[in-house]
Amino acid sequence: MGFFELFLLAVGLSMDAFAVSICKGLAMKKADAKGMATCGVWFGGFQALMPLIGFFLGTLFASAIEAVDHWVAFGLLGLIGFNMLKEAFEREEEGCDCNNNDADLSVKTMFVMAVATSIDALAVGISLAMAGNVNIWVAVALIGITTFILSGVGVKVGSIFGSKFEKKAQLAGGIILICLGTKILLEHLGVL
């Protein structure tokens, strides 16, 4: 997987954190550097940690499922992508449920939100192990940095524009992950 594909993966994975950061910014009313950095560090840190854990778990089982690894990667990325699309459409129906409690930046709240937004990154780490030819350290750094930046931007966007971009961020993330999963499958099958 090349740098551009890893970057797209990083953007796709960071969209959940971006959407939550928009809600944080909306609840803050006025984004400050501390709030932006807090969201960036929590979300970026967990988005980097989870694929690393997933990658090492995936390498443990890689030899056992080598014949179907491309299908596993395709399935995981596709499932995560479709789930993100589904959540985006559900949020459209419900409206943004951001409230003043979402501005809570305590360790307990941020830990729970960081884990919740990065669970899909664990599965992506497993699929990266299955895809092969991936420098996990570059991937993890890129995912963490991208999520850090987009989370900070999300807080600012939320404080300025509200929940207008939340759905679009999730839609974009879902589409990117589905496309990457499809590309991995088609490359392994010799189509690309």
Tens of pLDDT, residues 132-155: 788 999 999 999 999 999 999 998
Q: What is the pLDDT of residue 166?
A: 67
Q: For residues 180 and 90, give the distance between their C-alpha atoms in angstroms, rounded to a whole number.
A: 23
Q: What is the pLDDT of residue 94?
A: 53
Q: What is the pLDDT of residue 100?
A: 45
Is the pLDDT reported for residue 95 higher than 60? no
In a domain, 86, yes or no: yes
Nearby residues of 24 by Cβ (< 8 Å), 6 or more positions away: 35, 39, 102, 103, 105, 154, 155, 158
Q: What is the pLDDT of residues 155-172, one digit of tens each?
A: 898 888 755 666 777 677
Helices marked H in the chain: 3-28, 33-61, 69-94, 107-131, 136-161, 166-188
In a domain, 192, yes or no: no
Q: What is the pLDDT of residues 73-84, one digit of tens each?
A: 677 777 777 877
Give the residue with greater pLDDT, 140 vs 17.
140
| Reported confidence tier of residue 29, pLDDT bands at 50, 70, 90 | low
In a domain, 191, yes or no: no
In a domain, 55, yes or no: yes
Nearby residues of 154 by Cβ (< 8 Å), 6 or more positions away: 17, 18, 19, 20, 21, 22, 24, 25, 39, 169
In a domain, 118, yes or no: yes
Q: For residues 52 and 73, give the distance between their C-alpha atoms in angstroms, rounded to a whole number.
A: 15
Does residue 113 contact residue 45 with C-beta atoms inside 8 Å? no
**Count of structural domains within the chain:** 1
State the chain's mean pLDDT as an integer: 80
- Which residue matches tokens 């099958």? 189
Q: For residues 77 and 136, give the distance between their C-alpha atoms in angstroms, rounded to a whole number.
A: 17
| Global pTM value | 0.71
- The whole domain housing 51 covers 3-186
